[in-house]
Amino acid sequence: MPSRFSWLMGLHGENYLRLARLFAPQRLIVGSYRSSVDDHLDVLLEVVEHHPYTIDLVLTYALHDADTGGLVPSANIRMYRDARMAEVLHYHADRRLENAIGPLPPAHTILERRVRKSTFLNRWLEYLAEQGHSIGTLEPVVSPGTESQEAFA
C-alpha cells in the first residue's frame, strides 16, 4: 500500500491531468477567462503567471460570499509543468460547493491539510467536467477599454 505522501503526489498528478484536459491553462495567455454552461454558475479562471516550470492560476465561481464579499469557492493553484503536478496553495469553499461535492473530514496535520486541499480540487474539477465546463466553453474576459487579444498561445 502506498504511503500517504506517495498518495498525495499521485493526487497532485491526477489534478494536473484533470486541469490540463479541462481548461488547458498551459495553452492560455495570462488573463481572465469565463466558462458558461447551462447551469448558470459561471466559472472564472485567471491565469496569473507563466514561468518556465510553473503556471499560477485562480479558479473560482462568479459567486460572491455574503460574509466577505469575495468570490467563492476559490482555489489558488500552481501547476508544475516539469513534474506534471497541480497543487492547491490556498482554497476557500462554501456550503453550496460542499453540498455538491460532499464534505471533507477535518485536517489535523500539514499532510492532512495538503491532502484535503488536493482532494477538494480533484472533486471540484470532476464536478466542473460533469457540468460541461471545458476549454471549449472558456471565453476571455475583456475589461472595458481594452482591446480583445488572442487568448490561446
Residue 93 has a pLDDT of 64
Residue 112 has a pLDDT of 81
- Name the pLDDT band for 37 (thresholds 50, 70, 90): very high
Q: Is the pLDDT of residue 66 over 70?
A: no
Taking only the tens place, the pLDDT of each residue in 69-127 is: 666 678 999 999 999 999 999 877 666 555 555 565 565 777 888 888 898 899 999 99
Question: Which amino acid appears at position 103 of this protein?
Answer: P
Residue 18's nearest CA partner among 120, 141, 139, 151 is 120
Q: What is this structure's pTM?
A: 0.80
Residue 2 has a pLDDT of 64
- Cross-strand pairs, 85: 80
CA distances from 128 to 12, 36, 143 (A): 17, 11, 25
